[in-house]
Structure 1
Amino acid sequence: MDLQQLARLVSDKTGIPWGPRNVERALAAVFVSDNLWEIVHKSDEPLPAVSALVGLLLEEGMLRASSGGISLTEKGKAFCEGLGVFPFEDHTCPSCRGRGLGLDKFKRALECFYEIQRDRPEAAIRYDQGYVTPETTFARIALADERGDLRDKIVIVFGDDDLVALALAMTGLPRRVVVIEIDERIVEFERKAAEKLGLNFEVIMRDARLPLPQELLKRFDTFFTDPPETVEAMRVFVGRGISALKGVGGAGYFGLTRVESSLVKWRSVERLLLDMGVTITDIIHHFNEYVNWGYLEQMKAWELAPVKQFPSKNWYYSSMFRIEVVESVEVPNADVTGRDIYTDSESSTV
């Protein structure tokens, strides 16, 4: 068996386009971790595909599973070495975690945010939620501030289990912050936090799948969103953000993983963005670090996992995209509540 054969078997089983290079990345991660979730993270490959590969290697005797996790057998090591597969190497800066940003200027706001977010609602699977670390939330703000997208600007946030709007209001940088959020628990939490801290930002309880009302169209300078990992969800949530922007020069921020998005899907998303009149100015690898959520055993990922083990550390990351409007394009503002925009063959956290 070679890399091409393994890739074909994985593709046949999952429907995810895979080639030898994808298998190689997953094997390189197996060399350095015994935890399935960390292997997915380090390989930068979709979880269903990595799970299928691990299952195949277990059947072939190239991997063994024990209470300690997953490990290569001697047969597996010889197989990898024969194919010229080397262990994954990590050269990430330990200080900035690869983001290239410092948070010292937000130290007081971050400390306050740490305290206030302790009582935040837990992530709910019905909304495909999963929130990022406090440092990630403020790194998003630092990035947007560095790009000139916050000071005295009007900002809108679509979906806010990450509490970006709360953090933005705490910094005092934007002139106005508006949140569109469907989860009444988060709506109530942010409204109470705003009252307690004396902050001024608007929280609107609304399903983002509904068309944006006229009063929110072409009113904002910057948007933030963190959509589910499907092309259709990107079309809707990022499209809503673009519709809310004033026009050319407006900026948007969102995350896209490799855990639930193959490079083939990335290309589809990038084409979609170009068709909506924007260009990608930044893609920062593994920028967004998500806290392990409590519904792991309810997820499709748990069902797919050939070895049932819990993560030993945070494992779900996404790259941060910054986009900027360069051409005015009329983006559809349709009602999509009757469509499933949350799942595809690469989804695993639903």
Structure 2
Amino acid sequence: MAGHPTFPDPDDHGSAPPDHTPRTPGVTVSDTSPAHPPGNAPPLPEAASRLLRDHGVDMPRLRRVLALLADGRWWGADDLVRGTGVAYTLVSSLLKALDEAGELAAESAGRQSRVRLARPSGYAGAACDDLADPVAHLLPRYARAHAELARAVAEGPASDLDLDHVTATAETALRRALFLATRFDLHDRVLLCVGDHDLTSIALTLVCPGARVEVVDIDERVLAHIDALADRLDLRVRTHTADLRLGLPSTVRGVADVVFTDPPYTADGVELFVRRGVEGMADPRRGRVLVAYGASETTPRLAAA
């Protein structure tokens, strides 16, 4: 759209060829089980095998941690969490068990400790198949958008724990935007962000300049930051201050084609933010409400509530 920047690299038009392999509906054919290494891979040490087996059906997630450790590099627990998405408590428990079994070497790096496998060659069978990443193939085309988002996150206001803020990384914001922009037709349509500490509004309009975004938030620092970014980057984003407990501003009721919210992770918080999102929809039959919600393996009751 004229007058608005777009950030994919213009020379990148490549894409993987389509997979035309015949499929039988309801049937998946695979030579190996995704929960296990290929048949010719060496078995894992007994301590590691026992840990995985005792973890139950969710074992492939712990196997991701072992696969990273098996590359021979030094790893901090936080790095393993970021690299796998496995809960910190589980990563720590795995490292403790491996250490007690004599499978780890450790070193100090400043105020942090790092570990690696003492015998990484024994874990050659740790790698396993994984689910496809829905947007990974798009990320390289949006390096400039990622750089803008990294700057925006770094310059943004500090998290307010009273508002249940947890800052998203620039890559997370970009991934959300790419999912929205590829899953939905948002050109000249309205996305309503119910709360936007994570800058989803900025990320989306960087990758899809034809979209229009309305942001509702109680934190005026967040809104001022979004306003400044939208002005600097010439993005179609408008902000509105509101306490959602008191209602949705009249200016954004019934205007949205798609609603996105990353609510406080409580049952009451999710209900409130989703309810306000539905109030903002132009046509609930044809629109969509997307809720970003994550609960770690260690807090299943939170998700159940």
Q: TM-score, normalised by structure 2?
A: 0.60
Number of residue pairs matched by the alignment: 250
User: CA shift at 1:221, angstroms?
Assistant: 0.8
| Residue in structure 1 matched with residue 105 of structure 2 by the alignment | 64
1:65 is matched by which residue type in structure 2? Answer: A
Matched with 2:214 is: 178
Equivalent residue runs for 1:90-239 within 5 Å: 98-101=135-138, 119-126=155-162, 127-133=164-170, 137-168=173-204, 172-174=209-211, 176-194=212-230, 201-208=237-244, 210=245, 212-213=247-248, 215=250, 216=252, 218-227=254-263, 234=270, 236-238=272-274
Alignment check: 8 A CA contact 1:187 1:205 kept: yes
8 A Cα contact 2:190 2:213, kept in partner: yes
Shift of 1:9: 7.8
Match of 2:287 among 223, 227, 250: 250
How far has the Cα of 1:140 moved from its partner?
3.6
Distance in 2, Cα, partners of 1:89 & 1:181: 42
Q: What's the offset of the Cα at 1:213?
A: 3.2
Q: Residue by residue, what CA displacement relative to the aligned partner does 1:138-159 show, whole Å, maximum 9, x if unpaired?
A: 5544443333432221211122
Residue identity (%): 23
Aligned to 2:89: 48
Give the direction of change, closer, same or farther, for the CA distance of 1:103–1:150 in structure 2 (3 Å limit): farther
Contact 2:149 2:203 in 1 (8 A): yes
1:236/1:88 Cα in 2 relative to 1: closer, same or farther (>3 Å)?
Answer: farther
Shift of 1:31: 1.7
Say if 1:230 and 1:31 are closer, same or farther in 2 by CA, change over 3 A: farther
Uncovered stretches (5+) of structure 1, i.e. residues with no partner: 11-16, 273-340, 342-350
TM normalised by structure 1 equals 0.53
Displacement of 1:247 = 0.9
Provide the rounded CA distance (Å) in 2 between the counterparts of 1:108 and 1:22: 32
**For 1:179, what is the secondary structure of its paired residue?**
strand
Assess, with a 3 A threshold, how the Cα gap between structure 1 residues 142 and 103 changes in structure 2: closer, same or farther: farther
In structure 2, runs of 5+ residues without a counterpart are: 1-45
In structure 2, what is the Cα distance between the partners aligned to 1:2 and 1:197? 53
Alignment RMSD (CA, Å): 4.6
Partner in structure 1 of residue 20 of structure 2: none
Q: What CA deviation, in whole Å up to 9, does each residue of 1:235-288 have, x standing for no partner?
A: 55455434533312213445455xx5239959x96xx8xxxxxxxxxxxxxxxx
Cα distance change of structure 1 residues 37 and 230 upon mapping to structure 2, 3 Å threshold? farther
State which of 38, 42, 63 in structure 1 corresponds to 2:79.
38
Q: Separation in 1 of the partners of 2:84 and 2:76?
A: 12
Mark the CA change 1:51 to 1:229 in structure 2 (over 3 Å): closer, same or farther.
farther
Larger CA Rg, structure 1 vs 2? 2
Structure 2 CA distance for partners of 1:103 and 1:212, relative to 1, 3 Å: farther
Matching residue's letter, 2:93: A
